[in-house]
Amino acid sequence: MTELAPTVDLIINSRRRRAGRHAVLLALLIAVVLALFGITLSVGQSFTPPVEVIRVLIGQDLPGTSFTVAQLRLPRAVLSILAGMCFGLGGVAFQVMLRNPLASPDIIGITSGAGAAAVFAIVVLSMTGPMVSILAVAAGLCVAVLVYGLSFRNGIAGTRLILVGIGMSAMLQSVIAYILSSAPAWSLQEAMRWLTGSVNGAQLSQALPLFLALVLFGGLLLSRTRDLEALQLGDDTAAALGVRVATTRMLIIVCAVGMIATATAVTGPIAFVAFLAGPIAARIVRGNGSLLLPSALVGAILVLAGDYVGQLLLPSRYPVGVVTGALGAPYLIFLIVRVNRTGGSL
C-alpha cells in the first residue's frame, strides 16, 4: 500500500491539475461570451456607452437608447446565446455518443426534421409560439429514431448512420423547399431563416422556450456527463463500467434532440453550429475534462460572433446562418479529408 502512495499522489495531482485547467478554460470561455454580449449591446449601427447600457439593463428608461438596447439588441443577443448553447450542447452530445464528428444533428437530418415541422406548423397551419416548438421536437425525435433504426443492422456503423441521415436530410430539405416555394406570401427573408437560420426580428418572449429547453434537457444531459464519456469508450466497455447503455443512449438522444429542435423552431437551423462547436471545443480543451459545457459556450460564441459579423462587419447584411455556414463548409471538407485519411474522432 505504501509503495502505491506516490503513484496515487501523482494521479490525484494530475487530476487536480486537469480539473483546474478545465475551470480556467470554462471561465475564459464565459468571459468571451460576456464580452461579445457586451459588444453586441453597446456597439451596433450606433455606439451606446456601456454606462447607458447598464442603466437600461437595470430598468431605467432612457429615451431612444432604451429602444435600441432593450428592444433591438438585447433580445437578439440573448437569443443568440441561448440558441448557440442549445446547438452546441446537442451537437456535441451526438458527436460524442456516436464517436464521429460527422454525426452531428445538422448533418444527419435531425435539424432538417425539426425545421420541416416548424415550417409546416408556421406556414401551413399558421401556428405560433410553444406549439411550433413542441411539433418541432416531436418531429426531430421521429427523425432521430428513424435514422437510428434504419441504420441499425448488426449494430450501428457510423458511416451508415451518417449516410442514412444525409438521405433523410435530403428528403426533408426538399419538403422545406416545397412548403416555402408554395407559401402564399413568399418572403425571402422568412425563407432564408428556414434555409440557413437567423436571429433577425428576435423578441425576448422567444427566449423562454429556449431557456426552458436548456435548463431541462441541458441539465439532464450534464448530469449524465460521466455516462456519456463512458459511451465514448465503446458500448462494451461502457457496459462493463456499469453504464446502462440503451437507457443512457435513449436519454441522450431525447435531450440532444429536445435542445436542437427547440432552437431550430425559434431561429431556424443555424448552419453548422452544432457541427462546429464540438470539434472547436475539443481543440480548446485538449483532453482536460468534459466537452459538454465548453461546446455549449463555443456554440454561443459562434452564434453571437457570427451574427455580429453578419450584421455589421460585412459589406451587406447577412443572417447569422450564412456566416456560420461559410465558416463551416471548408471545415466540413477538411474533416472529410482527415476522416478518410486517418479514420477520425473528436
Partner 1 sequence: MTGIHETSDRRWVSAARSNRVRSLWFAGLIVVLALLLALSVTIGTRNVDWSDISAALGGMQDTIGQAAIALRIPRTVLALLAGASLGLAGAIMQGVTRNPLADPGILGVNMGASLAVVTGVAWFGMSSAHAYIWTAIAGAGCTAVFVYTIGSLGRGGATPLKLALAGAATSIALASLAIAVVLPRGDIAGGIQSWQIGGVGGATYGRIVPVMPFLAAGFAISLLSARKLNSLALGDELAAGLGERVAVARAIASLGAILLCGATTAVCGPISFLGLVVPHLCRTLIGVDYRWLLPFSAVGGAGLLLGADILGRIVARPGEIDVGIVTALIGAPFFIWIVRRQRVREL
* Contacts to partner 1 by CB under 8 A: 100, 102, 107, 150-151, 153, 157-160, 162-164, 166-168, 170-171, 173-175, 177-178, 181-182, 186, 188, 191-192, 195-196, 271-272, 315-316, 318-319, 321-323, 325-326, 328-330, 332-333, 335-337, 339-344
CB of 173 to partner 1, least distance (A): 8
- The whole-angstrom separation of Cα 102 and Cα 344 is 10
Query: How many separate helices (H) and strands (E) can be counted in the chain?
Result: 16, 0
19 or 157, CB closer to partner 1? 157
CB of 289 to partner 1, least distance (A): 26
Interior/surface letters 110-127, b for 16+ CB within 10 angstroms, e for the rest: bbbbbbbbbbbbbbeeeb
109 or 289, CB closer to partner 1? 109
242 or 341, CB closer to partner 1? 341
298 or 322, CB closer to partner 1? 322
21 or 99, CB closer to partner 1? 99
Tell me how many degrees the CA angle 80-146-223 measures, rounded to the nearest 5. 50
Biggest CA pair distance of the chain: 79
107 or 221, CB closer to partner 1? 107
- The whole-angstrom separation of Cα 37 and Cα 55 is 16
CB of 45 to partner 1, least distance (A): 18
CB of 225 to partner 1, least distance (A): 24
DSSP string covering 295-332, please?
A: HHHHHHHHHHHHHHIIIIISSS---HHHHHHHHHHHHH
The cell for 69 is: 438596447
53 or 335, CB closer to partner 1? 335
CB of 43 to partner 1, least distance (A): 22
Interior/surface letters 92-101, b for 16+ CB within 10 angstroms, e for the rest: bbbbbbbbbb
**In which residue are the cell numbers 486537469 written?**
18
CB of 167 to partner 1, least distance (A): 4
Alpha-carbon distances of 126 from 117, 132, 187, 287, rounded to whole Å: 12, 9, 15, 47
CB of 192 to partner 1, least distance (A): 7
